[in-house]
Structure 1
Amino acid sequence: MPAADRPIAPDLPPPPAASFASDNAAGVAPEVMDALVAANAGPALAYGEDRWTAAAVADLREAFGAPVEVVPCWGGTGANVVGLASVLQPWEAVICTDSAHIVTDEAGAPARFTGATLVPVPHDDGKLRPAAVAPYMHWRGEVHHPQPRVLSISQVTELGTVYTDDEVAELADLAHAHDMVLHLDGARIANALAASGSDLRRSIRDVGVDLMTFGLTKDGAMYGDAVVYVQPALAAHAHLVRKQAGQLPSKARFVAAQISALLAEDRWLVHARHANAMAARLATAVSAIEGVTVRRPPEANAVFARIPAAAVTPLQEWSFFWPWDPATSLVRWMTGFATTEADVDRFAAGVAAVIAAVRA
C-alpha cells in the first residue's frame, strides 16, 4: 500500500466534530442566532441609531455598574485598533508583552493605524510585570524617546494564564502614577471571569482598567467585538477613530443584538465556564497518555502540551490544530462553548492512537 494511503495509526477514530484549533472555529450560539433573526424584522436606522444598540449599551453599563462608553466594532483586531488609536498620539508608545496579540497576530495594524510605537517586553508566563515596564519610565519627558502612554495586557493571556485582580491593579497603579492608561485586550474576558468566579465590576472597573476590548466572537457571537471605555472621557474621539478605521458597522443593530443576547442571564459566562471545563477534561485525558506533557493545568480554555515531534503532522492531518512552538513540539488545543465531552474524549483517543503509532 502506498505510504500516502496507509492509515495514520491503527484504531484511529474518526475526527471529532469540534475543532480544537481555535475557539473561533465554533458556529453561533443558538440564542445569538435567535437574536439576529429577531433584529432582522423590519428596518432600523443605521450606524447605531437603533434600539438594539441603545439596549446593548444599557446592558453593558449595568454589567459594569458604571456609565461606560461602548463602541461596537467588526472584530477583535479592529476593536484593539480603535481603542488604542483613540488614546494615543504618534509620538507615544504602548508597552506590552512580546507575546501580545497586538504584537504577534495583528499584522502590525495597531502601529499602522495609531502611528505610535509598540514596545514589546519579555513576558512572565504570558503576563506583563511591573519590573519589565519600569526601565521605560525614564523615557517620559525625554525628547529622543517615544513617550510611554499605554500599558496593554491580554486577559486571558496568549499563554492561557489569567491575571489575578491584584496583578491587574498593580499594573493600573503603575500606569496611573505615570499619567498612562491601562488597556485590556479582552478577547477571552468571559473565560477569565469564569475561571476566577469574578465579574466585570470587581475585575475590570474596580482594579483600574481604563479601556478594554470586550470579546464576543470567541464566546458564541457570529462577529463583532466592542471597545468599552471604563473611563468615558477617553472616548472623546472614539467614534471618529472607529469610522476612519473602517470599524463602524452600518447595520450596527446586528452587533448590538448579539451583545444583549450573550449578556442576558449571564449566558456569556455559562458558555465560558463550559469551555473552561472542557479544557480541564482534555488536559486530564491527554495527561494520561505516554509521550504527552501538559505544560500546566489549564486556567481557562487553552491546553498547551508537548508531544513527540513525529506526531504533530499526523495529528494535524487527522484533526487540525495550531503548533505553538514547533522547535519544542509545543502545541495548543483550544476548547469553546460548543465543545462536547464526546469531542474531547474522541480527540484524546486520537492523540493516544497517533502517538502510540509514532512511538512504536
Structure 2
Amino acid sequence: MTTLHDPTIRGFASDNYSGVHPEVLSAIAAANDGHQVSYGDDVYTARLQEVCARHFGAGVQVFPVFNGTGANVVGMLSMLPRWGAVVCAKTAHIHTDEGGAPEKVAGIKLLPVPTTDGKLTPELIAEEAWGWGDEHRAQPLVVYITQSSELGTVYSPDEVRAIADYAHERGMRVFMDGARLSNAAAALDVPLRAFTTDAGVDVVTLGGTKNGALGAEAVVVLDAEASDGLRYLRKQQMQLASKMRFVSAQLIALLDGDLHLRNARHANAMAARLRAGLEAGIADGILRGIEFTQPTQANAVFAILPPGIADRLRERFRFYDWDAARREVRWVCSFDTQPDDVDAFIAEAARLLARNGI
C-alpha cells in the first residue's frame, strides 16, 4: 500500500499522534501465525497475567480492552452500584474529554473538584466526599485520579497513599487512570507497584496506546474486593476483543522487558529538553512573552503564548489549545519525538516572536 502521509512531519499535539513502536509491531507479527482461542482464552493473554503480576503483585486480574475511555468506563462501572458517584478533578479526562461516556454510557455521576495542578488531595476530595446515607445525593464511593495527570503533573507514592487512606477510611475505593502510567514511573524512577498496589490503589488502567502500542489498554484489578462483574461488563460495554491475543501481545512487548520505560523515559526527556530550551530562550531574551503554567514532570509542557503566536506556530507543528481564553497551550512529546524535532520547534518559536517584535 502506498504511504498516504508524510512521515517526516512531526507535531506536539498528543502522544496519540505517534506511530507504533517497531518492537510492538514485531510482537503483533509474531502472534499472527496459526490459530488461537478467541476472546482471551489464548496463550498471550495468559502470559500477560503473569507479566502484570510481576509489576503489580500476585493475584491481580488483567482485562485487556481497546481504548482508554473504555477502560475507564468498564473499570469504574465494576466498582460502583447504580447509586454510586465518582469524585474527580475538574480537569479529569473522564469529565472533559470522554464525551460524557461515564455518565451517558455507564450512568455514573461525576463529582468534579477544581484543582490548580490537576491533582487531588484528601482536602480537595473532602469537598465532595459527603452525604453518605442521604437518599437525595449520589453516593461518593470512588475517587478517580490520573497518573500522570491531565496537566502533566505526577503523584508521588506518598500522595497516592494519602488519598487511598482517606478514601478507604470512608468506605470509598480508588481508581487510577494510567493512560500515561509508564511516564509517571519513569519520572519517579520507581516500579509501577510503588504508586499503585503498594500505595493502596484498588483498580488501575494500564495505558499502552500513548506509549507505542496500537490500541492496547487494560484494566488491572489490584484488589478483587473492589471490583465485581468486570468479565461481563467488558463484553456488555463493547470492549471484549475477539482476537485478544493481538492486544495482549502488544502489552507483553511493552511490559515483559523495559520497553515501556525506555519509551516513557525518552518522551519525558524530550519534554524536559523542550522546556529547558524554551527557558534558555526566555532567559536570553529571545523568547519573551512565554509563561509556563505547570511544572514539566512527565511528557507534557503547558505554557501561555503571546497573542497570535499559537496559530502561526501551528502552521508547522500541530498542538492544541488547552485554555484558549488565556492563550494556554499544551505540547506533548512521544516515544518517537527526536531532539531535532524539539530544536526545530524552539527555533520556529524564536523566529515568530522576533518577527512579532516581542
TM bucket (normalised to shorter chain) is over 0.9
Partner of 2:4: none
Greater mean deviation of Cα atoms: 287-296 or 153-162? 287-296
Higher relative contact order (CA 8 A, sep 6+): 1
- Within a 5 Å distance, the mapping from 1:271-290 to structure 2 comes to 271-287=263-279, 288=281, 289-290=287-288
Partner of 1:59: 51
Change (3 A) 1:78 1:134: same
Tell me the SS of whatever aligns to 1:318.
coil
User: Residues 18 and 338 of structure 1 are in contact (CA less than 8 Å); yes or no, is this contact kept in structure 2?
Assistant: no
Cα distance in 2 for partners of 1:356, 1:137 equals: 50
Partner of 1:358: 356
| Residue 114 (structure 1) aligned with residue 106 (structure 2) | yes
User: Residues 102 and 108 of structure 1 are in contact (CA less than 8 Å); yes or no, is this contact kept in structure 2?
Assistant: yes
Tell me the SS of whatever aligns to 2:130.
helix
Partner of 1:201: 193
Residue ranges of structure 1 left out of the alignment (5+ in a row): 1-14
Q: CA RMSD in A?
A: 1.5
Structure 1 runs of 4+ aligned residues shifted over 4 Å read: none
Partner of 1:4: none
Partner of 1:336: 334
Change (3 A) 1:145 1:208: same
| Residue 242 (structure 1) aligned with residue 240 (structure 2) | no
Partner of 1:303: 301
Cα distance in 2 for partners of 1:234, 1:82 equals: 13
Alpha-carbon deviation of 1:350?
Answer: 1.2
Q: Which amino acid aligns with 1:195?
A: A
Q: Normalising by structure 2, what TM-score?
A: 0.94
Cα distance in 2 for partners of 1:16, 1:342 equals: 11
Alpha-carbon deviation of 1:296?
Answer: 4.2
Alpha-carbon deviation of 1:326?
Answer: 1.1
Q: Normalising by structure 1, what TM-score?
A: 0.93
Tell me the SS of whatever aligns to 2:297.
coil
Alpha-carbon deviation of 1:164?
Answer: 1.0
Partner of 1:148: 140
Change (3 A) 1:139 1:357: same
User: Residues 51 and 255 of structure 2 are in contact (CA less than 8 Å); yes or no, is this contact kept in structure 1?
Assistant: yes
Cα distance in 2 for partners of 1:198, 1:232 equals: 24
User: Residues 272 and 337 of structure 1 are in contact (CA less than 8 Å); yes or no, is this contact kept in structure 2?
Assistant: yes
- Greater share of residues in helix: 1
Alpha-carbon deviation of 1:16?
Answer: 6.7
CA offset digits 1:55-104 (Å, max 9, x no partner): 11110011112210111100000000000111112211100010000000
Change (3 A) 1:250 1:170: same
Greater mean deviation of Cα atoms: 220-229 or 303-312? 303-312
Alpha-carbon deviation of 1:179?
Answer: 1.0
Cα distance in 2 for partners of 1:251, 1:327 equals: 45
| Residue 322 (structure 1) aligned with residue 320 (structure 2) | yes
Paired residues in the alignment total 347
Tell me the SS of whatever aligns to 1:106.
coil
Q: Which amino acid aligns with 1:247?
A: Q
Cα distance in 2 for partners of 1:333, 1:195 equals: 17
Partner of 1:257: 249
Greater mean deviation of Cα atoms: 111-120 or 100-109? 111-120
| 1:139 aligned to which of 127, 131, 134 | 131
Cα distance in 2 for partners of 1:355, 1:107 equals: 36
